[in-house]
A = this chain, B = another copy of it.
């Protein structure tokens, strides 16, 4: 298969979604955060798990996407999450992303029913591809069994790649299991299948093995240093860069991740509205927030250039 030089690669962030006091999505703050990430060479995996994407309705997501692209945020740097439980919802959202020129879509399997077959999952993705019916479509399969409880198996990938080469463009692996990420790379990267580990924890290891970057929650708050490792991974200090990234991620990982990301952004931008989450999530307690910020300060963490 011919290499697709325009493909989206590198470090992407599942962009956290800010909410207004009435819990409606705050498109302006989202745009500001997206622009800051882009200025740090981090691409935009809006509507990921850390974006509370499944806590948003399909219309809310389409409106946000329209707003961002309409405001001049570059769609070639965007990989919105478009996989829903209902195949009709996945089709609508994916069509919107393709129409707007997004580089690709990150697609969860339908996640309500458990123990479903590869045949059923194949039909889901095939239905989306056939109904979107656009050769510009690029799908990145989203494997996150700890949350979705559904596994994207190598045999499913093989079948999809065989039936829909080029359109099936890669995967994000948030299994947390390096062996699984490695198997994706070893089995499929030669066929133009781009594998993104689901955290910067495996960024260096991934790049050394044939991965193409990472899509990571903490890229929301530590974009510059993560993007720097992607650009300089063959330099002598790569391992020490990785250690430093792990240290910062380790701090966030000691708290509920999404509220912690939002608390950090709220703190460093001095904009408390960033703390809001939609139910069923709950914001950090003020005690947790103080503890998080203390840990970050002690580690010499730097929010790089605050954007407001």
- Residues of chain A touching chain B, judged by Cβ–Cβ distance below 8 Å, are 23, 49, 54-58, 60, 85-89, 92, 109-114, 116-117, 119-121, 123-124, 127, 146-149, 278-282
A112→B55 CA distance, assembly (Å): 8
Q: Of the candidates B49, B89, B113, B278, which one forms a contact with A87 in the assembled complex, judged by CB atoms under 8 Å apart?
A: B278
Contact B54 A116 (CB under 8 A): no
Q: Of the candidates B55, B88, B281, which one forms a contact with A60 in the assembled complex, judged by CB atoms under 8 Å apart?
A: B88
Q: Of the candidates B123, B147, B148, which one forms a contact with A279 in the assembled complex, judged by CB atoms under 8 Å apart?
A: B123
Chain B residues in 8 Å Cβ range of A278: 86-87
Chain B residues in 8 Å Cβ range of A89: 57
Contact B147 A113 (CB under 8 A): yes
A120→B289 CA distance, assembly (Å): 18
Chain B residues in 8 Å Cβ range of A56: 86, 88
- A to B CB contacts below 8 Å, 28 in the list: A23-B87, A23-B127, A54-B110, A54-B112, A54-B113, A55-B85, A55-B86, A55-B110, A55-B112, A56-B88, A57-B58, A57-B86, A57-B92, A60-B88, A85-B85, A86-B278, A87-B278, A110-B280, A112-B148, A113-B147, A113-B281, A114-B147, A119-B282, A120-B281, A121-B279, A121-B280, A124-B279, A127-B279
A123, closest chain B residue (CB): B279
Chain B residues in 8 Å Cβ range of A23: 87, 127
Q: A54-B86, A124-B280 are in contact. List 12 more A-B contacts (CB 8 A).
A: A57-B89, A109-B280, A113-B280, A114-B147, A116-B280, A116-B281, A120-B281, A120-B282, A121-B279, A121-B280, A127-B279, A149-B149
A112, closest chain B residue (CB): B54
A282, closest chain B residue (CB): B120
A51 to chain B, nearest CB (A): 12
A217 to chain B, nearest CB (A): 13
Chain B residues in 8 Å Cβ range of A87: 23, 55, 278-279
Contact B57 A112 (CB under 8 A): no
